[in-house]
Structure formats: structure tokens, C-alpha cells
A = this chain, B = another copy of it.
């Protein structure tokens, strides 16, 4: 049991919020209308971490917030994450606290397991240069055929999954992601919300018969 746990690979999710606010000046009574759709990122956090009776310890989430003058990135680490409940408002309150922390280019802790810094996608991709990057896009290779068409290792080991919000990626971001060597993978032709994609990725990794451990 201990051996299995020791070898369980981290799962990283990167979600880009193109209009997401970078200050705590939004209302918990109207998250979608006052925060640049931070609600999308809240639901992505829940999807990434929350199990029926617990938190996934082996998950790390990066939220890239681009709706302010200076981009900010919030990092949530399952191993030490506290106070996360399944409801949207609680998650938004945790992010609000993180956005109240004076941010610099170095990570600063907000609450347990939640960190914030200035910087956006380019800096994060540079930090994750050793991770296997998977970019989720409707026209990518079918994720269920990875063992046939792509390297099966892509879904094991230290994989980092990149997802957009409701506005999609910009051409500049597409270029950055391509240059970083990300594989473009699809969950099907139906366009899904980021949090639903994360639920599916977690499930596929929990139950993978196709991605043999490399």
C-alpha cells in the first residue's frame, strides 16, 4: 500500500482565466458578474481536488488570472490544502484571500496550500519545462486512443493539463503552448466546461486501462 502511494504521480491542472480579476474587489454575492468569471476557476478547483469524502492529495492546480493590469497566478497544492469545501462560494472566498496577499514574482502563501505570485502563462510554462504538457482542445487527438496514436506515457508520470476558460486561448497563448511542446488532446467533439474536463481527466487517470505506467 505504501509502495503504491509512493509511486502515485502528481496531476497538475493549469486553467487560464482571461478576464479573471486579480484583486479581491469582487462580490461573493455575484461572483460571475463581478470577478471576470472567477466562478469558472472556482469550479475547476473543486473538480480537481474534491472527492466524495476527501481531498485529492496528488493534485496541483495553477489558476492564471489575466483580468488585471499585471497577471497573477494562484497555486493550490492538494497535499497541504485546507478549508476547501465543495461549494463555489467557499472556494471564491479562499481565492479572494489569496488575491489580497501582496504579490511579487516569488510565491507567497495565503492560506494553507494556496500560494500567489505575479506572472502568467509564459512564466509558468518555463517553470514546468520538465513536465509532460497536455493541452485540451476539441480538435486534438482522441484521449481514449492515446495508447494507439500517441505516447501512452503522456497520461502517466508528471503530466500537466492545460485548459482554457469560456473565451478560448489567444493565438499568442496557442503559440506559447506549442513552443512548450504540449500535445494537443481532445475529450471529444462536444465543447465542455473546464471543470467538467478536469472531472473526466481525473476519472481517466483513476481508471486508466490504456495508459500503462512507464
Contact = CB atoms under 8 A, between A and B. Distances in A.
Contact of A52 (B28, B193, B209): B193
Interface stretch (A18-26, A85-93, A125-133): A85-93
A179 interface: no
A199 interface: yes
B89 A190 contact: no
A31 interface: yes
Contacts of A52: 166, 191-193
26 contacts: A28-B29, A30-B89, A32-B85, A32-B86, A32-B87, A32-B90, A39-B87, A40-B86, A51-B191, A51-B193, A52-B191, A52-B192, A52-B193, A53-B166, A53-B191, A86-B193, A88-B88, A88-B89, A144-B209, A188-B203, A188-B206, A196-B199, A196-B203, A199-B199, A200-B200, A200-B203
Interface of A: 28-32, 39-40, 43, 47, 50-53, 85-90, 144, 166, 187-188, 190-193, 196, 199-200, 203, 206-207, 209
